Structure 1
Amino acid sequence: MSNSSALKVLVVDDSNTIRRSAEIFLKQGGHEVMLAEDGFDALAKINDYQPDLVFCDILMPRLDGYQTCAIIKRNDRFAELPVVMLSSKDGVFDKARGRMVGSEEYLTKPFTKDQLLQAVQQFGTQASGAA
């Protein structure tokens, strides 16, 4: 994979383990990675860092993944930013709710390196293509 396809990816999860494994997988795929611990942290970093794609955990303290995604999508500057939800539950209801707030995709934890990189390839390039 050449560096021209390197994307800026923000991973939002209150679990240090998940953040670290996502970071390792994404860096192995040649991408730039930024980490956030919760929704508020994520919103500040999206503003500063302007990622191509966001992976966002659903169950987080203070601001959950649905709320975080909804805020991102309501902001005109970031409405096109693809958001992939991460959850340890593989529920139909959760997936539907994720779509309602505008997320592109839903990955169940623990995810594999392939799943993560495939999502980046699929949605990240779509974002940079639209810019």
Structure 2
Amino acid sequence: MATDPPYVGLRVLVIDDSQTIRKSAETILGRAGCEVTTAADGFEALARVVEDQPDVVFVDIMMPRLDGYQTTALIKGSDAFNGTPVVLLTSKDGLFDRARGRVVGADHYLTKPFASDEVLGVLEEVAPRPA
């Protein structure tokens, strides 16, 4: 007997300027039952956050125009979305980067490239499973 994926109905927004990373995250999260939307940059992401009201946001740090730190600060600075968990995605794994992420309100940090078990492990930490 098949069981439902663990995160059926959880709304997740993935923001990354790399189409490959967006697609990879979308596949991993989709298999877990998440409803995934994507954005290619911070400006597009801000509109998506308002429209889709995601339960969790994954955001790349290094993006043109509006980087992940700025995007996270804007999401966390909003009364409507300051409780939404934000996970930073980055290829940089330095202490300074992690500290800066915490300062802007990020809830977790995931280093790229990532494996599906890492993504789902972070999701388990930041998002309760839907009832």
TM-score (norm 1): 0.92
- Give CA-to-partner distance per residue, 1:37-77, whole Å, 9 cap, x none: 00011110000000000000000000000000000011000
Distance across 2 between alignment mates of 1:4 and 1:116:
13
Is 1:92 matched with 2:98? Answer: no
Provide runs of 4+ in structure 1 moved above 4 Å. Answer: none
Which of 109, 112, 115 is 1:112 aligned to?
115
User: Residue 13 of structure 1 corresponds to which residue in structure 2?
Assistant: 16
Give 2:4's match in structure 1, choosing from 2, 9, 28. 2
Runs of 5+ in structure 1 lacking a partner? Answer: none
Shift of 1:119: 1.4
**Structure having the larger proportion of residues in helix:** 1
Q: Are 1:42 and 2:49 matched, yes or no? A: no
1:25, 1:5 → 2: CA distance?
11
Query: 1:63-120 deviations in whole A, cap 9, x for unaligned?
Result: 0000000000110000000000000111110000000000001100001101111112
Deviation track 1:1-53 (CA, whole Å, cap 9, x = no partner) reads 63674211000000000000000111111111000000011110000000000
Q: Could you say which residue in structure 2 is the equivalent of 1:55?
A: 58
Q: Which residue of 2 aligns with 1:125?
A: 128
66 and 113 in structure 1: CA distance in 2 versus 1, 3 angstrom threshold: same
How far residue 121 of structure 1 moved from its aligned partner, in angstroms, is 2.1
Q: Which runs of 5+ in 2 are unaligned?
A: none
* Structure 2 match to 1:72: 75
- Which TM-score applies when normalising by structure 2? 0.92
**In the TM superposition, what is the alpha-carbon distance from 1:125 to its structure 2 partner?**
1.2
**Letter matched to residue 77 of structure 2:** R
Q: Label 1:77 to 1:98 Cα distance change in 2 as closer, same or farther (>3 A).
A: same
Q: Cα–Cα, structure 1 residues 109 and 4, in superposed 2: closer, same or farther, change >3 Å? A: closer
> Aligned residues: percent identity?
54
